[in-house]
Amino acid sequence: PRHLLGIEGLSAEQLVPFLDLAESYALLSRSRSAPRDALRGRTVINLFYEDSTRTRTSFELAGKRLGADVINMSVATSSVNKGETLLDTAATLNAMRCDLLVVRHAQSGAPALLSQKVEASVVNAGDGTHEHPTQALLDALTIRRHFGRLEGLTVAICGDVGHSRVARSNIHLLTAFGNKVRLAGPPTLLPGAMAELGDVELYSDMDKALEGADVVMSLRLQKERMGAGLVPSAREYFRFFGLDRRRLALAKPGALVMHPGPMNRGVEIASDVADSDQSVISEQVEMGVAVRMAVLDRLSRARMPV
C-alpha cells in the first residue's frame, strides 16, 4: 500500500509482512545493526497536532535508524497558529518534496483527507477516536512474540474503549487474525456502535471480562474527549474498573498486561500491576520503534525510486 491510514479492511495476509519485517528490525535494533541506507535520501515529516511521547519519538528514531532525514514539525510554533489550515500546511510540506508524512490529528479522518491531496505517503499516527494503526501493529507483534502465534487468543480490552482509537485498531487487527475480543468498561464508555466493529463481546462487569483472558489491555480515561461533568472520579473508577492484582488473577496464569500509554497509575491500572512480571508495557514501546521502521520501509518501497 502507498498509505497506512487504518487497520480496517486489511487482511491478516496483508498485515503479516509488516509484522515479519518489524520482527527482523527488532532483532537488528537490539544488535545496533539496522541497515542505515534503507531510507537514505528519503524525507520523513512528523506532523503532530496532538501531544505525543511514544509515537512521535519512535517514528523519529525509526526514520533515523534507517537513514532518512526526519523533520519534527512543531505545530505549537508553526504557522498553524496564524490560521493556516491543515490542507494548506500539508500542501506546503508536500511542495518541499517530503516522501512520508506522519500525521496525528484530533479530527477522525484527517490523515485520509491529506492522503488525497499530497504525493507523499501518509501514515496515520492517531486520528481522533478513529484509528491508530501502528499501535495495533506493535501490540500484535508484542503478543506474537510471547505466544508464538496471533490467533485463538482471548484479549480483554478494558477501560475507555469508546474514545479509544487504539481499541478500534486493535479490534480490527485481532479479529482479522481470529482472536476473541472482549470489551470491558462502564456502559457510558462502551457505546453500542462498537457492535459495528464486528465480532466483539461487551462487558460492564470487568471481573467477568477478565476470566480466562490471555491478554489484558488497559486503556486510559480520555478526559480530553469527554464533555465537562462527564469525567468519572478517579477513585470510583479504579474501584470498579481498575486493573489490580485481584482482578488480574482472574485472567489466565501469566496473562500479558498491556497498556499503550500514557498510563494513569491508580486510575485504570494499579502501579504494582504495571510494574509486574506480567507487564509487557516496555516491550510494547520497544516494538513500537521496530514496527515504525517496518511501516516507513514498506511504504517507501511502494513509492517510486529516489
Q: Does 78 bind ligand CP (CB under 6 A)?
A: no
d(CA 204, CA 202): 7
Q: Does 187 bind ligand CP (CB under 6 A)?
A: no
Q: Which is nearer to ligand CP, 144 or 165 (CB)?
A: 165
d(CA 59, CA 258): 20
Q: Smallest distance, Å, CB 304 to ligand CP? A: 30
- How big is the CA angle at 93 (ends 168 and 17), to the nearest 5 degrees? 40
Among 124, 135, 169, 170, binds ligand CP (CB under 6 A): 135
Q: Does 260 bind ligand CP (CB under 6 A)?
A: yes
Q: Does 6 bind ligand CP (CB under 6 A)?
A: no
State the cell numbers at 278.
506480567
Secondary structure of the chain in HEC code, one letter for each residue: CCCECCCCCCCHHHHHHHHHHHHHHHHHHHCCCCCCCCCCCCEEEEEECCCCCHHHHHHHHHHHHCCCEEEEEEHHHCHHHHCCCHHHHHHHHHHCCCCEEEEEECCCCHHHHHHCCCCCEEEEEEECCCECHHHHHHHHHHHHHHHCCCCCCEEEEECCCCCCHHHHHHHHHHHHCCCEEEEECCHHHCCHHHHHHCCEEEECCHHHHHCCCCEEEECCCCHHHCCCCCCCCHHHHHHHHCECHHHHCCCCCCCEEECCCCCCECCCECHHHHCCCCECHHHHHHHHHHHHHHHHHHHHHCCCCC
Q: Which is nearer to ligand CP, 52 or 204 (CB)?
A: 52
Q: Does 55 bind ligand CP (CB under 6 A)?
A: yes
Site for ligand CP in 20-49 (CB under 6 A): none
Among 16, 21, 54, 72, binds ligand CP (CB under 6 A): 54
Q: Which is nearer to ligand CP, 265 or 303 (CB)?
A: 265
Q: Which residue has the CB atom at the shortest distance from ligand CP?
A: 55
Give the number of residues in contact with ligand CP, rule: CB under 6 A. 9
Q: Does 52 bind ligand CP (CB under 6 A)?
A: yes
Q: Does 126 bind ligand CP (CB under 6 A)?
A: yes
Q: Smallest distance, Å, CB 268 to ligand CP? A: 14
Yes or no: say if 152 and 12 are a contact pair by the CB < 8 Å rule: no
Q: Smallest distance, Å, CB 177 to ligand CP? A: 21
* Contact stretch for ligand CP (CB under 6 A) within 60-68, 186-194, 245-253, 256-264: 256-264
* Contact stretch for ligand CP (CB under 6 A) within 51-59, 70-78, 221-229, 249-257: 51-59
Among 14, 33, 53, 74, binds ligand CP (CB under 6 A): 53
Q: Smallest distance, Å, CB 131 to ligand CP? A: 12
Q: Does 106 bind ligand CP (CB under 6 A)?
A: no
* Contact stretch for ligand CP (CB under 6 A) within 36-44, 93-101, 113-121, 255-263: 255-263
Q: Does 262 bind ligand CP (CB under 6 A)?
A: yes
Tell me which residues touch ligand CP (CB under 6 A). Answer: 52-55, 126, 135, 260-262
